[in-house]
Amino acid sequence: MNLTKKQPPNRKNLHNRSILRTTLLMATRASAARTLIVGSGAGTITTYEFDETANSQGLIKELGATSGSAPAPTWQTIFGNLLYSIGSDKKLIKKGSAKGVAAPVSIAVGKGGKLVVSASYGSRGPGPVPDGQEGPPHQATMDPTGDDIIVPDLRADQVRVYNVNSSTAIKELESIKTPPGFGPRHAFFYPVSKAKATHLFVVGELSNNITPFKISYTEGQLKVENIATVSTFGKQAVPSGPPAPTAGEQPFLTTGNTSISPTASTKHKPTKPKTPSPPFSVASDAKPKFMQLSASGGLSTRQYSITKEGNWVAIANSGNSNFSIFRRHPENGTISSLPIISTGNDGASCAIWYEPNAGYC
């Protein structure tokens, strides 16, 4: 985990393993066009315009690209009009960078934009599952209070908790335990964009499960209670390998008619370029209910992004270097069976909508 306090822009080329901060200069105009930003393992961040009212030839248009976050900007997050990336006009203008640790894989912004935290996959070690459980943290995210950092540790079958209430130090608290072989990869707080969370959802990569925990804060310690565990394949049997399916590059949850969309990445043969993408509804008690299993439009799905209105889903597929845009039905959370468009992007790993005033965390 890498903890970074925001500093004035640094104009030196510090290190190719850096956190890039860019300014998003996006035109605000009365138009159906939307802006999509795609980060690639091949070294570029590309900005696209998606116009849902255009004909099939004009649906997607590339606006520009930058290699300022090379060599592998595989994760981006937005805070206000700033794009943070690891590793357009409508340009991405580099504002600065900070040296990180090897192989950063996620980034989050907290404390009103005053703190940036990233997770690193740079060191490895054995876990209970020999053919996959060899990696350390794959995500770091902050709770809505801004006082705690949550770090799923796939290798240790734990979700580590760190307190950052102090401005000068972080303190490791009691971790959240998951069953052996669960392989926690990503976690997020629910409800989204609220000042106080009631639940923490954890996605198990190796077990293909989702577990919601009811949370409370007691004497400065985050306490959890396991309320359910559901399969990312619903009542269907988890397909056998090789390769075995793995769940969840990034769960995504929308407000209103809520759905979670963890990846079930199965890496089918090229004749079947369809990684399953299961959304779930969330009941009042926060228990997820399986809704459907639909294709993602590609292989080895890495990440989802849903528009503020909830009617479009962008999915990055690194296995065959493309991203797809699907229509989503906000009334029930389901996704159309076929993408409205699939576009090649070498090493596509992160697709994120940029919508001014969308309330990014």
Domain map (residue ranges) of the chain: 2-354
Strand-pair category, 334-335 with 322-329: antiparallel
With b for 16 or more beta-carbon neighbours within 10 A and e for fewer, the 130-140 pattern comes to eebbebbbbbb
Q: What pLDDT does residue 75 have?
A: 80
Q: How far is CA 313 from CA 115, 136, 165, 277, in A?
A: 29, 29, 35, 11
Nearest alpha-carbon partner for 200 in 260, 245, 256 = 260
pTM of the model: 0.75
Within a 10 A sphere around the Cβ of 341, how many other Cβ atoms? Answer: 16
Task: Please determine, looking at this structure, whether the domain spanning 2-354 carries the CATH number 3.40.50.10860.
Answer: no
Q: What pLDDT does residue 62 have?
A: 92
Residue 246 near residue 262 (C-beta atoms within 8 A)? no
Dist CA 47 CA 66 (whole Å)? 9
Q: What HEC string does the chain produce? A: CEEEECCCCCCCCCCCCEEEEEEECCCCCCCCEEEEEEEECCCCEEEEEEECCCCCCCCEEEEEEECCCCCCCCCEEEECCEEEEECCCCCEEEEEEEECCCCEEEEEEEHHHCEEEEEECCCCCCCCCCCCCCCCECCCEECCCCCEEEEEECCCCEEEEEECCCCCCCEECCCEECCCCCCEEEEEEECCCCCCCCEEEEEECCCCEEEEEEEEEECCEEEEEECCCEECCCCCCCCCCCCCCEECCCCCECCCCCCECCCEECCCCCCCCCCEECCEEECCCCCEEECCCEECCCCCEEEEEECCCCCEEEEEECCCCEEEEEEEECCCCEECCCCCEEEECCCEEEEEEECCCCCCC
Question: Tens place of pLDDT for every residue, the chain, 361 residues?
Answer: 555 544 443 433 333 345 555 555 544 444 568 999 999 988 899 999 999 888 766 789 999 898 877 788 878 888 777 788 876 334 455 666 666 666 667 777 777 777 777 777 765 544 455 555 555 677 888 888 888 899 998 888 999 999 887 666 788 999 999 999 999 988 988 887 777 889 999 998 888 889 999 999 888 788 999 998 988 888 888 877 666 677 765 545 444 445 555 554 444 333 333 455 667 788 778 888 888 888 888 888 888 888 888 889 999 988 889 999 999 888 888 888 889 999 999 989 889 998 875 544 3
For residue 45 the two structure tokens come to 């961040």
Q: What pLDDT does residue 96 have?
A: 65
Residue 172 zone, left/alpha/beta (φ > 0; ψ -120 to 50; rest): beta
Dist CA 257 CA 163 (whole Å)? 32
